[in-house]
């Protein structure tokens, strides 16, 4: 048991996986001696050697494609893409190969690989370093999409992702990498990969979010609590497969749903969540669903990124509106 930051929890999970399973191989740009630009792999190269913790050339497509080959051979590659904004060249290999290999071969070849990437804005990073494009991946059949929101979740979900027999993309909220510590028991216990978590209980409305946005959801819930409004927060840590039941269960109790995400609104994963509620829980909805998201624009450069990210204030305001509805 230790108090860890999110990035330390990622590192602990990687170390645990490397330790427990000789088929685990970590690869990516600067993951070796440098320990990753965010230090996710700090010390792993020294501990597990350059064969299993492997610096790659600057080739995102090949990183993903090589992972497919390794995985087809029974290895469990855990590849790092340095920032989510640079994952696009890997998309072909992810969508057209990793996610399909099992289906294409009726299970003869499989692809137990993980692609990790830090995502999201709010750390004053340079251009192309603030993306939040999880929705793109959640639309790819055959892929799992996981986004932890805390150190303990990061640890348990990453272990689960590595052990899963199918490809998983694992997006880490870089804004939370060092935002706080949480008790993490490094005993190799994985979390379920298909379960949303109720992060806070409340009767008046359901706040749905994931990753870094959970922070603003929590802050909004605190504010609202001061106003006598109790928000239930559901952390959709596994976007795909999406655990509709947990969200629906909560909405059935509260009758109201506000969804928050960092990604641009149109086609964000919030749309899927809203659609599922509108399909399956319309009868209990006492107010329109509200999405609090970034606008449909590119993440601004640092000076104005605060205007882009959905704020706790905006979430609280949306919550007030749905609670006051009619």
Partner 1 sequence: MAKTPPGTERTVARFEIRARGYLTAEGEPRGALPSFAEDRDQLVRLHAAMTRTRAFDQKAVALQRTGRLGTFASSLGQEAVSVGLAAAMRPEDVLVPSFREQGAQLWRGVRMEELLLYWGGDERGSDFADPAVRQDFPVCVPVGTQYPHAVGVALAFTLRGEARVAVVAGGDGSTSRGDFHEALNMAGVWRLPVVFVINNNQWAISVPLDRQTAAQTLAQKAIGAGLPGEQVDGCDVIAVRDAVGRAVERARAGEGPSLIECVTYRLSDHTTADDATRYREDREVSRHWAGEPLKRLRAHLGRAHGWTKEEEEELRARIHAEVEAAAERYLAIPPQLAASIVAHIHAHLPPDLEAVRARLAEGGDG
Ligand X SMILES: Cc1ncc(C[n+]2csc(CCOP(=O)(O)OP(=O)(O)O)c2C)c(N)n1
**Footprint on this chain of a second copy (rule: CB under 8 A):** 61, 85, 88-89, 91-92, 95-96, 99-100, 103-104, 127-128, 133, 135-136, 138-139, 141-142, 240, 242, 263-264, 266-272, 274-275, 277-280, 282-283, 285, 287-291, 296-298
- Residue in 97, 128, 129, 306 annotated catalytic: 129
Strand order in the sheet with 231-235: 197-200, 231-235, 205-209, 257-264, 290-294
CA angle, residues 299, 302, 304, in degrees to nearest 5: 75
Per-residue interface string for the shown chain with ligand X, residues 43-82, x marking contact by CB under 6 A: ---------------x-x---------------------x
The distance of closest approach from Cβ of residue 9 to a second copy in the complex, given in angstroms and rounded to an integer, is 28
DSSP readout, 203-246?
SSEEEEE-TTHHHHHHHHHHHHHHTT--EEEEE--EEETT-HHH
Burial class (CB in 10 A: 0-12, 13-18, 19+), 80: buried
267 contacts which partner out of partner 1, a second copy, ligand X, none, CB within 5 to 8 A by kind?
a second copy
Q: Is 261 a catalytic residue?
A: no
C-beta of residue 148 within 8 angstroms of C-beta of residue 211: yes
The distance of closest approach from Cβ of residue 111 to ligand X in the complex, given in angstroms and rounded to an integer, is 19
Is position 29 an interface residue for ligand X (rule: CB under 6 A)? Answer: yes
Hey, is 264 helix, strand or coil?
strand
C-beta of residue 89 within 8 angstroms of C-beta of residue 117: no
The distance of closest approach from Cβ of residue 57 to a second copy in the complex, given in angstroms and rounded to an integer, is 17
Is position 325 an interface residue for ligand X (rule: CB under 6 A)? Answer: no
Comparing CB distances to partner 1, the nearer of 92 and 201 is 92
In sequence order, the β-bridge partners of residue 261 are 293
The pair of three-digit structure tokens given for residue 194, joined into one six-digit string: 């298909």
Comparing CB distances to partner 1, the nearer of 230 and 311 is 311
Residues in touch with ligand X (CB under 6 A): 29, 58, 60, 82, 86
Catalytic sites, residue numbers: 129
């Amino acid at each position: 048991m230790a108090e860890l930051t999110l990035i330390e929890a990622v590192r602990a999970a990687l170390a645990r996986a490397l330790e427990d399973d000789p088929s685990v191989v970590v690869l990516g740009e600067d993951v070796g001696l440098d320990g990753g630009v965010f230090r996710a792999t700090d010390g792993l190269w020294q501990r597990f050697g350059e064969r299993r913790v492997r610096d790659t050339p600057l080739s995102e497509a090949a990183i993903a494609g090589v992972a497919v080959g390794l995985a087809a051979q029974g290895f469990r590659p855990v590849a790092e893409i340095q920032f989510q904004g640079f994952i696009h060249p890997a998309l072909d290999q992810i969508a057209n190969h990793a996610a399909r290999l099992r289906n294409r071969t009726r299970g003869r070849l499989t692809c137990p690989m993980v692609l990790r990437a830090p995502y999201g804005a709010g750390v004053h990073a340079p251009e192309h370093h603030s993306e939040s494009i999880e929705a793109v991946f959640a639309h790819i059949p055959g892929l799992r999409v996981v986004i932890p929101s805390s150190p303990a979740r990061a640890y348990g979900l990453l272990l689960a992702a590595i052990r899963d027999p199918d490809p998983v993309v694992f997006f880490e909220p870089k804004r939370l990498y060092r935002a706080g510590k949480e008790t993490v028991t490094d005993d190799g216990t994985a979390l379920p990969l298909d379960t949303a978590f109720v992060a806070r209980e409340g009767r008046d409305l359901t706040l749905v979010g994931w990753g870094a946005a959970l922070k603003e959801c929590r802050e909004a819930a605190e504010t609202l609590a001061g106003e006598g409004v109790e928000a239930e927060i559901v952390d959709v840590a596994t976007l795909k497969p999406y655990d509709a039941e947990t969200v629906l269960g909560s909405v059935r109790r509260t009758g109201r749903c506000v969804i928050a995400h960092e990604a641009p609104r149109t086609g964000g994963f919030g749309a899927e969540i809203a659609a599922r509620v509108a399909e399956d829980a319309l009868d209990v909805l006492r107010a329109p669903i509200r999405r609090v998201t970034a606008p449909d624009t590119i993440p601004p450069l640092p000076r104005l990124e605060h205007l882009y990210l959905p704020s706790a204030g905006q979430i609280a305001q949306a919550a007030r509106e749905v609670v006051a509805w009619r």
